[in-house]
Amino acid sequence: MGLADTYEHGITRGVVRYAKERTDWDLYGYGWMFRPFEAVEVWEGDGIIARIESERAAHRIAALSVPVVDVAGAYRRATFHAVTNDDEETGRRAGAYLLSCGFRRFAYCGVAGTAWSESRRRGFAQAVSRADPRPRVFEAPLPWWERLDNTRRLRSWLSALERPVGIFACNDTAGLKVGEICRDLGIAIPDGVAVMGVDNEDILCEMASPSLSSIELDCEGIGYRAAGLLDRILAGGAPMQRAGRILLLPPRDVVERDSTRIFTCADPLVEQAMRRIRLSSLGGMNVASLVRALATSRRSLETRFKRATGSTVHAEILRVRLSYAKGLLRGTRLTIAAIAAQSGFGSSQRFHECFVASESTTPGRFRRVAAAGASVLAGNDAPPRARMPSWRPQDPG
């Protein structure tokens, strides 16, 4: 596996972390940063952890007759084990999030012929089925975002969508392409089209205009568990005749950015209230100040808000603050006190109380678990060992 994107970086971190706990593991890298993929055919190793993204690669790896743990989930093989992201759950989370933005029309932009994209589409369709039983779908074979004819098809598909619409893109690359074409067509994001991707390629997502919301995956956890499974196979605990086992790890949180910071609603008062909450709640807004800003009565706002969203105004303000705080806990080294202040909480104590009530853990523990990836699972796979193995991007000698 190379190191081409955030997904591969995370997987590799998990594999390396597991290998450092062993006394008898050597790692060899294959891919554009290491040895060419063709060289694996003369490699004399014991087992393979691979991101298998094509039938051709699956055939070549299967021919090696060594245990294989796939971490892509694109092409299933009865002789391969797999540790992958739970793609149906990823789709369900995307659907639930876009529903919470008030959308009642939905679309999916995916890849034809791959299991992970099909699973994400299926989970998404399940989540939005009550509001939109038949979300629109665009799919083309990989790498469709590089082909001019597919770009023309995508452009036509986006032009024909009834708006406003929430679009779930199968990954960040597809999401960025959707955003690019929408800008070219003059379709406002997120007012006309809200776009959500998968993988949280943070640099690319932040550079997009507007920045792209995305679902973060537990890539390091996948890599760590894949290494643990391969270890058990090599030790005889999961023999080859029992191949075909699939372990699914749930995704992490939705990382909200500007491409989905909207709430669309038939009730203009609720729509205006939600937009103000999502834009201003971090600055100390509360229910009373929102009522004053909207020049309405508290009773009217609360009643209409509850009817439209199923939630209270206070609960939505709190949700937005906690979502922002979780992003700061994952991605910065700010103190808990600084995060509490930036997230709109009056004090660290209030932040702590609200966080524990919502997440069933403290802010400090949430940060440690997020930083450690799947370290909480380490005891399930193997006890830590002392000696660090060598990392060999090329054959020795």
Q: Hey, what are 193's tokens?
A: 């089209």
What is the dihedral angle through the alpha carbons of 85, 89, 90, 95, rounded to the nearest 10 degrees? 170
Q: Hey, what are 92's tokens?
A: 């369900």
Q: What is the pTM (predicted TM-score) of this model?
A: 0.78
What is the dihedral angle through the alpha carbons of 84, 87, 93, 99, rounded to the nearest 10 degrees? 160
Above 70 in pLDDT, residue 377? no
Count of beta carbons in the 10 Å neighbourhood of residue 246:
12
- pLDDT confidence tier of residue 375, bands split at 50, 70 and 90: very low
Above 80 in pLDDT, residue 387? no
Q: Which residues contact 52 (CB under 8 A, 6 or more apart)?
A: 58, 61, 70, 72, 74, 75, 80
Maximum average pLDDT range among 8-22, 142-156, 185-199 = 185-199
pLDDT at 339: 95
Instruction: Note the pLDDT tens digit of each residue in 33-49.
Output: 565 555 666 667 789 99
Maximum Cα interatomic distance, the chain, rounded to a whole number of Å? 78
Above 80 in pLDDT, residue 365? yes
Instruction: Note the pLDDT tens digit of each residue in 166-186.
Output: 999 999 999 999 999 999 999
Q: Which of 308, 260, 264 lies closest to 162, judged by CA?
A: 264
**Length, in residues, of the chain:** 397
Lowest mean pLDDT among 53-62, 95-104, 242-251: 242-251
- pLDDT confidence tier of residue 128, bands split at 50, 70 and 90: very high
- pLDDT confidence tier of residue 24, bands split at 50, 70 and 90: confident
CA–CA separation, 356 and 359 (whole Å): 5
| Selected residue with higher pLDDT from 385 and 175 | 175
pLDDT at 38: 59
Question: Tokens 């993988």 map to which residue?
Answer: 199
Instruction: Note the pLDDT tens digit of each residue in 221-279.
Output: 999 999 999 999 888 855 544 556 789 999 988 988 999 988 888 899 998 998 888 87
Domains, the chain: 6-85+219-253 (3.40.50.2300), 87-215 (3.40.50.2300), 268-370 (1.10.10.60)
Mean pLDDT, rounded, for 359-375: 78
pLDDT at 292: 95
